[in-house]
């Protein structure tokens, strides 16, 4: 969503797994971006990621991570 011609906000998230390789996996993030040029936006935000994988042969991977993220969007025409 554009707040102004130079400032944009992105909110994203997903949920997956449902016992098809991973028991449950989800993430959510919010980013605030500033358009440097019409085709270049720099972003900063926060992301939360949770993974609960229980595979065959007793493999278990359960992790949660959260923190600041930085990004850039380049529009190629």
Distance CA 8, CA 43 (A): 9
Strands 40-54 and 7-17: unpaired
**Per-residue pLDDT of the chain in tens (77 residues, 90 and over written 9):** 889 999 999 999 999 988 777 788 999 999 999 999 999 999 999 999 999 887 778 888 899 999 999 999 999 98
What pLDDT, on a 0 to 100 scale, did the predictor assign at position 57? 80
């Amino acid at each position: 969503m554009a707040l102004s011609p130079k400032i944009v906000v992105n909110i994203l998230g997903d949920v997956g797994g449902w016992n098809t390789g991973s028991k449950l996996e989800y993430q959510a993030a919010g980013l605030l971006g500033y358009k440097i040029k019409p085709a270049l936006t720099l972003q900063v935000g926060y992301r939360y990621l949770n993974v609960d994988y229980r595979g065959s042969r007793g493999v278990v991977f359960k992790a949660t991570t959260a923190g600041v993220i930085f990004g850039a969007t380049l529009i190629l025409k």
